[in-house]
Chain A
Amino acid sequence: MTKTLTFAFMDPPFESERTVTFFRLLDSALERRANVRIFAYEGAVALAFALQAAHGNAVHGRNSDEEAHPLTKDWIAALQQKAESYGLTFEWINCGLCVDERGVNEVIDGCGRGGPPDLWRYASNAFNTLTIGTR
């Protein structure tokens, strides 16, 4: 039987290596054929922000296309596609109040808005839960 893992994360995109590690863990969970549910709390609600935009880098000598700046919204989309290709589920809920205070209301498809009861629901129906608090 396929196991479901719930993750709760708090860090925003771009500044912290913890965010990268978090996404590696999600990728690994899917690779091990687990369904994945994410509750994004505080800064992590910006990870799914649909209006993230790549830019060029004059110091690197690369234009926007060449630089191909990583965007976390694209990472989420890639993991959504991976889950679908494996016949798994990949669910993402942002804490709504956290979204409001950051103004990141536009999210990519497949990501929704909720609150703490959703984290409890996710965790209650999971094989286990990993929480990664901020520092």
Chain B
Amino acid sequence: MKVLQVIDQAFRTTVEEQDDTILWLTQSMRGAGADLTVLLSGHGVHYAVQARRQPALVLGSWQQSEPAEIYRDIRRLVDAGVPVYAVRDDIEERGLQQSTVQAGVALIGRQKIADLYEQADQIWQW
């Protein structure tokens, strides 16, 4: 079974969970042998252009020691053979076209999204 994971939100739960929960879920299931593809769309395209670690949360004397590393998680997925796509139109709409897209992330035009959907047995829209 092939599953397309569609992530169209960004930076939800990333502070407390210290990762994106769907990228984490994808890595975990990949480790269990799942056949997955990731599509970053909408606000999710921000993940394709992350270049550094999230800033640590500081509250009083408490300081976070392991903030999220989105670019690391994307790289791990790519290295594990998970195709990762980002919607070019969504990147441009958000003014991110001058940012460097992480190596291994393939840009796809909005008109071609249906092709990705057609290739999957199930679509998991988060």
Contact = CB atoms under 8 A, between A and B. Distances in A.
Contact of B126 (A119, A120, A123, A133): A133
Interface residues of A, number: 17
B22 A133 contact: yes
Interface residues of B, number: 18
Q: Is the interface of B mostly helix, strand, loop or mixed?
A: mixed
Contact of B29 (A10, A117, A129, A133): A117
B21 A123 contact: no
A120 B34 CA distance: 7
Given A10-B21, A123-B122, A124-B1, A115 B13 contact: no
Given A42-B13, A135-B9, A119 B25 contact: yes
A65 B34 CA distance: 47
B126 A115 contact: no
Interface in A16-56: 41-42
A78 B96 CA distance: 48
A8 B22 CA distance: 11
Interface string B40-74: 00000000000000000000000000000000000
Contacts of B9: 133, 135
Contact of A119 (B12, B21, B29): B29
Interface in A66-95: none
Interface of B: 1, 3, 9, 12-13, 17, 21-22, 25, 28-29, 32-34, 122, 124-126
Interface of A: 8, 10, 41-42, 115-117, 119-120, 123-124, 128-129, 131, 133-135
